[in-house]
Amino acid sequence: MRDEARYFQTLSQEELWQRYCGFFYLDVDRFLTIQEKLLLDEIERVADNVIAKKIMNNSKPKSIEEFRKTVPLTSYEDYEPYLKDKTDEYLAEKPFDWCHSAGRGGYFKWIPHSHESLEKTTRNFTAVFILACAQYEGMINASPGFRILSIVPPRPYSSGWLLHLLEDRLSCNVIPPTEEASDMSFEERLESSVHIALRDGADTAFALSSILVKMGETFAGKTKSVKLSRSMMHPNIAFRLLNAYFSAKKAGRQILPKDLWQLKGIATAGMDTAIYKKDIMRYWGMDPYEFYAASDSGFLAMQAWNKKGMTFLPDSVFLEFIPHDEKSENETDNNKLPSTVLLNELEPGKLYEVVITNFYGMPFMRYRMRDLIKVTALSDDETGIKLPQIVFQRRLGETINLAGLTALDEKTIWQAIANTGLKYNDWVACKEYVGDKSLLRIYIEMNEDEEVANVEKAIDKQLKEIDLDYRDVDFYLGLQPVRVGILSRGTFDRYVNEKQEQGYDLAHLKPRRINATDADIERLLNFSKVK
């Protein structure tokens, strides 16, 4: 395994930029040439492997066209018998390490990573921080030894695994150190990260957008989840707090994270980034940098230095795309082989399901990610990038269909709630019927007293602003379709605490937001007094 830190000692600024960000200068033809070469290398590498033989039916395709025509689409269930026990015997190459997904439906997906895929992942994660800290094209403002304030799940979660790579291969300082964080609860990691960063400072941050906002609210005095104890009164901490106090006082407000740390960049991922972007800017003093990655695939796409649309990487996985059709969204019969398109066939404004084939000896072939991306443009005039620009939209099947007119996803509902300006903690949503009419039921925990009717009206108004298809739903239904149940304060905390006591892992502590199960809703209602 190469040590990424050495490149910062041997390469010039221009060479470093080309190493980590050179893919932005490809055109579509060169992108697809790289894809074809790596796919054919992968087929040759894994063709005699047990898993590949089963998936490819003992064949060895000799072209992209033959591969797409003869190899069926797959899902994790096709690989689970070979991967669930984390054994090496079924794999084409001995894995360097295993990580698992955040988990859905109560179980994890275990993913093996080869030495070569690990090297590529390290390089790409380094690129994330270079770009997060870049204020203009070609700027290298991140280097070995930089300090990363992190509030993410530890190994073997993929997020913690990524940080371990940077800690080990780039000699960066993760706050708190990944080995220490592995034995901490979320609250302990949060408290430790703040304590260490107050004492030693921080250069960058890596966290979910919602966590960054929650920390901002904490320092603004809106929550009490972080307390400054005597053990934190180190001279460096006292000095940092004193400076932050005067900075905030001069601005006529309470202390915010941007008063405590002048970060070079913030890296984050997830559909909530666009929703919380303004709040992150207000609390932390800068726009977050967004990337698209998954346990199954590694890094798929990332923003350029202008921090707008994301661009796919050519050498992480082989990419195919299924044009999305709302009418067949719940179709799960992989044997029907829905047609796919390649990068040069994408159309602006359309949704696509992402299909990947791993490179570097990893096992997944024509693997349905069940992620939907939206193509926003075929290029970016601002940066000169000649590749399609995309945003992550949602997971497949996670929508609430109303009257056959609109399919509301988590991102849309979340944005509508955020746009109301109402102060809330968390929420879940499901479809509800009154007679033969389908309604949107939202159970929401408010941080301030609000009348149900006012909340319903505010969310309905914002949905009409955001979703064109939603605007006429009330006309066809003959009623306003949003129904709100306000949960008492502390409901979600009590739900999470019960899950912790029952031994659930971090990824399974909260109910899913869209189409929450009847059992989850019942538990929330039992923990609350619904108005």
CB 337 within 8 A of CB 317: no
Q: Where are the domains of the chain?
A: 1-393, 399-526
Query: What DSSP character marks residue 92?
Result: S
Long-range pairs, 462-469, Cβ under 8 A, ≥24: 462/415, 462/416, 462/417, 462/419, 462/420, 463/408, 463/412, 463/413, 463/416, 465/416, 465/419, 466/412, 466/415, 466/416, 466/419, 467/406, 467/408, 467/412, 467/416, 469/405, 469/406, 469/407
CB 415 within 8 A of CB 275: yes
In angstroms, the CA 212 to CA 390 distance is: 24
Nearest 10 degrees: CA dihedral of 490, 493, 499, 503? -140
Same fold yes or no, 1-393 and 399-526? no
Instruction: Give pLDDT, residue 215.
Output: 83
In angstroms, the CA 463 to CA 412 distance is: 7
SS3 (DSSP) at 524: helix
In angstroms, the CA 214 to CA 225 distance is: 9
Give strand pairing partners of 174.
148
In angstroms, the CA 400 to CA 431 distance is: 6
CB 124 within 8 A of CB 317: no
Residue 90: CB partners within 8 Å, gap ≥ 6? 49, 50, 51, 82, 83
CB 182 within 8 A of CB 161: no
In angstroms, the CA 279 to CA 180 distance is: 30
Residue type at 53 in one-letter notation: K
Task: Return the closest-CA partner of residue 114 out of 359, 442, 291.
Answer: 359
In angstroms, the CA 145 to CA 297 distance is: 27
**1-393: which CATH topology?**
Rossmann fold (3.40.50)
Task: Return the closest-CA partner of residue 412 out of 371, 455, 452, 464.
Answer: 464
In angstroms, the CA 501 to CA 509 distance is: 10
Structure tokens at 467: 């979703």
SS3 (DSSP) at 155: coil
CB 394 within 8 A of CB 408: no
Class of domain 399-526: alpha beta
Give strand pairing partners of 293.
299
Task: Return the closest-CA partner of residue 261 out of 214, 308, 211, 215.
Answer: 215
Instruction: Give pLDDT, residue 241.
Output: 85
For helices 491-501 and 518-526, the axis angle rounded to 10 degrees is: 110
In angstroms, the CA 455 to CA 325 distance is: 32
Instruction: Give pLDDT, residue 224.
Output: 39
Q: Which helix (H) or strand (E) holds 209?
A: helix 209-219
- Rounded to the nearest angstrom, the gap between the alpha carbon of residue 53 and the centroid of all alpha carbons in its chain is 32
In angstroms, the CA 336 to CA 333 distance is: 6
CB 60 within 8 A of CB 47: yes
- If one counts every other C-beta atom within 10 angstroms of the C-beta of residue 10, the result is 8
The predicted model scores a pTM of: 0.82
Distances (CA, A) of 183 to 152, 154, 171, 188, 460: 13, 8, 22, 9, 43
Residue type at 524 in one-letter notation: L
Instruction: Give pLDDT, residue 225.
Output: 40
Residuewise pLDDT in 10s, the chain (531 residues): 458 889 999 999 999 999 999 999 999 999 999 999 999 999 999 999 999 999 999 999 999 999 999 999 999 999 999 998 888 888 888 888 888 776 555 567 888 998 899 889 999 999 999 999 999 999 999 989 899 998 887 777 888 888 888 888 888 999 988 877 777 777 788 888 888 888 999 999 998 888 888 888 777 764 334 455 555 567 888 888 888 889 888 888 888 999 999 999 999 877 778 888 888 999 999 999 999 998 888 899 999 999 999 999 999 999 999 998 755 554 544 445 689 999 999 999 999 999 999 999 999 999 999 899 999 999 999 999 999 999 998 888 788 888 677 888 888 898 899 899 888 988 999 888 877 778 899 999 998 888 999 998 999 999 999 888 888 788 777 788 889 989 998 898 888 888 777 766 555 677 888 888 888 888 888 888 765
